[in-house]
Amino acid sequence: MDFIAGETLYIDKPLGWTSFDVVKRIRGTLLRRMHMKKMKVGHAGTLDPLATGVMIVVTGRSTKLIDTLQAGVKEYVATIRLGATTPSFDLETEIDATYPTDHITREGVEEVLGRFIGKIEQIPPSFSACKVDGRRAYNMARKGHEVELKPKTLVIDELELLEFAPESITVRVVCSKGTYIRALARDIGAALGSGGYLTALRRTRVGDVRVEDCLSVDDAVAMLNEVEITMPEQNDSPDHSNRQ
């Protein structure tokens, strides 16, 4: 494999890891294996630490493909707790309000989900990487500052109810780049008159890449430690500056 010319790796991001954690682990493994100090390694589409699933990691010249790769349609399976809200719209923050759920039915949920299919306007979460006056929104939100974000236009291609209970639903979402599933959970909860926040999220597809195609981080590292690697020609020189 030629990681300087560019390679693409499909990783199943584990729970609790940031996207940067995955990139750092892959880059570190390659640098040690290739006796180099620097290498371009990036990813196409950030996943929150509380989410798992498909993460595309690219190396070398393939980092130029990031915009194209992350523009692909994405599929998620999301679990939404109904009857409560949190400031972050997920488990990062504590519940700040509760609401009744006795009125919620499967038919009512399916009717509400249908409203979100197609082109919609979505206000990103305050706890997001969106920038406000040059500052990350999540940095401001975590300090207790009010954050006003403008709605963004996006497309929900499919929104299917997989599991139902009055206090919790699991849905499959097929959507465009830029969709915040946490914000979708917030909006579904509000439309149901119960509030809602995300309790689990798994990205199952990015473009044509499915989670079944992905390696765990440990398996990816093991593969990188065993695979035959094409080394840069200048590494043949013992005094090459990238040698450690």
> Catalytic annotation on 12?
no
Contact 191, 112 (CB under 8 A): yes
C-beta separation of 116 from 184 below 8 A: yes
Catalytic residue among 2, 12, 21, 48: 48
Q: 204 with 54: CB under 8 angstroms?
A: yes
The CA distance from 88 to 173, in Å, is 20
C-alpha to C-alpha distance for 176 and 71, rounded to whole angstroms: 8
Report, as residue numbers or ranges, the catalytic residues: 48
